[in-house]
């Protein structure tokens, strides 16, 4: 069984990712590798934030790892909240506050199109995964690879469901009647942005 670190302590994310990765991988959280620090997350893109977090863990804890960043991109709001999704309503990072603000900003808007986008950054020693793709600026010391997952959908007018987290209770994926918060973990993993990005990571690791 291969041991890797997922640079998060978000138990919802861990549960989703462990379910997708399956028994071939043992996925450690930040807490399990005794990383207690607040990871840097000051980028202005999902890619930059995922890279910052993965690089911090890789350089300080010396093991293969991956980090993700996810944004809700709403067409009528010029793709906001995007990279600022977790702190859309302020630095308190409260999901209910974020949803309240989103619904307020869309109250008279007919265009409810939106998408969730996840970017994963994988980082390891060259010797560990010699087939991976290098970042030009870090070529001498590490391998860096990015994986993206997107799911299209729309924002409904009120919350539905008690599962999931973040904006899940107001997001209905295209072709479905349920919000992410009304789906089981298995249903969500069959089509979610994060599972699509993780599936690409798994394919890469296995190959």
Q: Which residues are catalytic?
A: 69
3-state secondary structure 27-94: EECCHHHCCCCCCCCCCCCHHHHHHHHHHHHHHHHCCCEEEEEEEEEEHHHCCCEECCHHHCCCCCCC
Judge whether 89 and 98 are in contact, CB under 8 Å: yes
* Spatial distance between the Cα atoms of 67 and 35, rounded to a whole number of angstroms: 14
Closest CA to 55 of 44, 41, 45: 41
User: What is the rounded CA–CA span in Å between residue 147 and residue 53?
Assistant: 15
């Amino acid at each position: 069984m291969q041991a890797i670190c997922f640079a998060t302590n978000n138990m919802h994310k861990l549960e989703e990712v462990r379910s997708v990765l399956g028994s071939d991988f043992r996925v450690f959280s930040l807490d399990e590798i005794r990383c207690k620090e607040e990871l840097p997350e000051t980028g202005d893109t999902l890619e930059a934030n995922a890279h910052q977090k993965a690089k911090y863990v890789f350089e300080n804890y010396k093991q293969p790892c991956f980090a993700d960043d996810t944004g809700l991109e709403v067409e009528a709001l010029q793709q906001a909240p995007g990279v600022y999704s977790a702190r859309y309503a302020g630095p308190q990072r409260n999901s209910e506050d974020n949803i309240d603000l989103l619904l307020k900003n869309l109250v008279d808007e007919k265009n409810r199109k939106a998408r969730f986008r996840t970017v994963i950054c994988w980082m390891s020693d060259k010797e560990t995964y010699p087939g991976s793709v290098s970042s030009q600026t870090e070529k001498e010391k590490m391998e860096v690879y990015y994986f993206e997952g997107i799911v299209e959908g729309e924002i409904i007018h009120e919350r539905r469901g008690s599962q999931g987290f973040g904006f899940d209770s107001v997001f209905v994926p295209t072709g479905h009647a349920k919000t992410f918060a009304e789906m089981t973990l298995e249903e969500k993993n069959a089509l979610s942005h994060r599972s699509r990005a993780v599936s690409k990571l798994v394919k890469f690791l296995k190959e």
